[in-house]
A and B are shown apart, each in its own frame.
Chain A
Amino acid sequence: MHMQATSFVCARVFAIVLLMFGAIPSAYAQAPDRSRSNESAAGHPDFGGTWERYAPPRDPNAPPPRGDAGIGLGPIFGAPPPPLKPQFVAAYEAEVKRIAEATQRGEPIANANAQCIPDGMPSMMLAIFPMEVLQTRGQLTIIQEAFNQVRRIYIGEDPPAIEDAEPSFYGHSGAKWDGDTLVVDTVGIKETVRYRNAPHSNQMRIHERIRMLDANRFEDQITVTDPVYFSGPWSWTWTYQRKPGYKMYEYVCEDNREFVDPDTGSQRMRFKSKAE
């Protein structure tokens, strides 16, 4: 009975998330996709366009994939747990537990997003909101609607050496073509910029293989390595589908009423607007 209820809830969560990301009828559905850039692809696949993350259809009666917290997000929406070296596992698991317990108590720990700090790499490729890809000669520019994040991938260049890579949210990305796949290497992610709370060092590298699956979908195979913290590669794939004619919304954190409780680290809410 409990399992059935859990499955039902998870299926419902999945349906809601699908609704959130699902195609919404748009007055601009027939409009040209202005971010397409066929001339710039120069014989290569063209990733230009507006996109949203794609989740394959599932049998609603099947057991849902499960994430670390036992909720139905699992491998469709996120990576497996990070392959930490044994000496880092206990601290990581304690932190995951602390966050889960605070959430259960209704006192969620304020994460970076709650403070209007953008995701950075690789989390930004999760595309919680729609994203736009601009493909010009020698450059792929990825714009996430969430937090107005912009990432620039320089095609035909190597990323800088790690010791020369200034730490940043989106890192420094160089790429080359391997047939129809764009192979991207990224270094220089700030150590405070984390995905799934995984610690990492300045030795972290993000390797991506980006390729079209068909005319309306592309995938990003992501592999993260870090010789300091990880015992092996950390890999997962996110897939995106076109959102034709969509016009990206601006996202300026103008008046963030969430703040961090200085005593507990929990997220609190300010009632008055800045103007009051």
Chain B
Amino acid sequence: MAMAMLAAASAAHAHHSFAMFDNEHQIKLKGTVKDFQWQNPHVYIEVDASDVYAKDKTTKSWTIECANPGILNRIGWKFNMVKAGDEVTLIVAPLRSGEPAALLKQITLPDGKVFTNGGPAGPANIQ
């Protein structure tokens, strides 16, 4: 309930509603970046990853939606901060449809640096 409200409230200040993502059941993915698309209206990370906490450790191709370059720049991201081949850990809210796409909450880069996805996307609620 709380996270649904958060998502609804945040939607008013984002490019679009994030209600299609399940904020209440966030997951942690670990894998290798295939592509980093720095552009509007959203930045995307394509990553081959598996679910850290799931029994099934099958690697799948995930599309991770981030905020936009303006928001991310203002919280410290850089256009070249993520590269193909990087090993990253992601906390994400997956699509409610079950398809392998998700909204980013937090990314840990190969050097250990952690970045959020800005205010509108909301915070991670798992470790």
Contact = CB atoms under 8 A, between A and B. Distances in A.
Nearest to B22: A106
Nearest to B96: A106
B48 interface: no
User: Most chain-A Cβ atoms within 10 A of its Cβ — which of B37, B74, B95, B100?
Assistant: B74
B37 to A, nearest CB: 6
B20 A71 contact: no
Given A16-B119, A24-B75, A116 B41 contact: yes
A9 B122 CA distance: 12
B13 A9 contact: no
Contacts of A71: 5, 8-9
B70 A129 contact: yes
Contacts of B6: 9, 12-13, 16
A111 B5 contact: no
Interface stretch (A28-36, A132-140, A175-183, A255-263): A255-263
Contacts of B4: 104
Given A16-B122, A20-B118, A251-B68, A107 B19 contact: yes
Interface residues of A, number: 50
Interface stretch (A88-96, A200-208, A267-275): A267-275
Interface in B18-45: 19-22, 35, 37, 39-42, 44
Interface residues of B, number: 45
Nearest to A129: B70
A111 B70 contact: no
A77 B120 CA distance: 14
Nearest to B99: A271
B2 interface: yes
A253 B41 contact: yes
A269 B18 CA distance: 11
Given A145-B70, A269-B101, A20 B2 contact: no
A81 B101 CA distance: 35
Contacts of B20: 106-108, 266-269
A245 B73 CA distance: 15
A150 interface: no
A103 B8 contact: yes
User: Most chain-B Cβ atoms within 10 A of its Cβ — which of A107, A268, A269?
Assistant: A269
Given A24-B75, A71-B5, A249 B70 contact: yes
28 contacts: A9-B5, A13-B9, A13-B10, A16-B123, A17-B10, A19-B119, A67-B12, A73-B12, A102-B19, A103-B17, A107-B20, A111-B17, A113-B15, A114-B17, A129-B71, A249-B73, A251-B41, A251-B70, A253-B40, A256-B42, A257-B63, A257-B65, A258-B41, A267-B16, A269-B20, A271-B99, A271-B100, A273-B37
Interface of A: 5-6, 9-10, 12-13, 16-17, 19-20, 24, 67, 69, 71-73, 77-78, 102-104, 106-108, 110-111, 113-114, 116, 128-130, 145, 249-258, 266-269, 271-273
Given A106-B19, A250-B40, 19 more contacts: A9-B2, A9-B5, A12-B6, A16-B10, A67-B12, A77-B13, A106-B21, A108-B16, A113-B16, A129-B70, A249-B73, A251-B41, A254-B40, A255-B44, A257-B44, A258-B41, A271-B63, A271-B100, A273-B46
Query: What 7 A-B pairs are tightest by C-beta distance, nearest first?
Result: A20-B119, A114-B16, A108-B17, A249-B70, A16-B119, A106-B96, A108-B19
